[in-house]
Amino acid sequence: MPASLLDALLAGDRRRIRGLAEYRIPDEFPGDAVGLIRLRREQIAVDPLVAPWLLRAIVRREDLAMVGYVNFHGPPGVNDTMSAGALELGWTVFPAERRRGYATETANALMDWANREHRIKRFVSSTTADNAASLRVHAKLGFVRTGEIVDGEIIFALDR
């Protein structure tokens, strides 16, 4: 999501959003993700080169509808475990779109991109113990628990 789209989302300018996005963004977005949008926009303002590592829409191919979003928490080395060269991955699929494999497919594609384009081999992710869906996605992707807990979330790692 380019800075101009993040700006339109923060301003709530639906007409501009429709003009900037090549996919359909639900009217209720960003909703409770507005803080994340604001944070990612601030990160890009400080360093525009971090944009490829940040927020991306998860878009369903069949109808070009946004069904969620995914991002790294920043460039390599910016992660909860402070692992040099590792990327931390996070995803959200909108409630009505869950249990269709979107998170697993998108996380795989994003990690493949990072490996292919930047030779990243270590990935970190986290979730809460009560988030059964996210725990299943972590397992499907091959993430393993590190034994660490940060801000109440279980930390997982994956070497590819």
Residue range 123-134, pLDDT digits in tens: 999 999 999 999
| CB contact set of 32 (below 8 Å; sequence gap of 6+) | none
Residue 93 belongs to a domain with what CATH number? 3.40.630.30
Q: Count CA within 13 A, CB hemisphere, residue 55.
A: 25
* pTM of the complete model beyond 0.95: no
Output helix, strand, coil percentages for the chain, rounded to the nearest 5: 40, 25, 30
CA distance 49 to 157: 25
Render pLDDT for 47-100 as a digit per residue (tens, 0 to 9): 999 999 999 999 999 999 999 999 999 999 998 888 899 999 999 999 999 999
- Domain residue limits at 60: 3-159
* Total structural domains within the chain: 1
| Secondary structure letter of residue 11 according to DSSP | H
Alpha-carbon span 158 to 48, nearest angstrom: 28
* Cβ contact 72:54 at 8 Å: yes
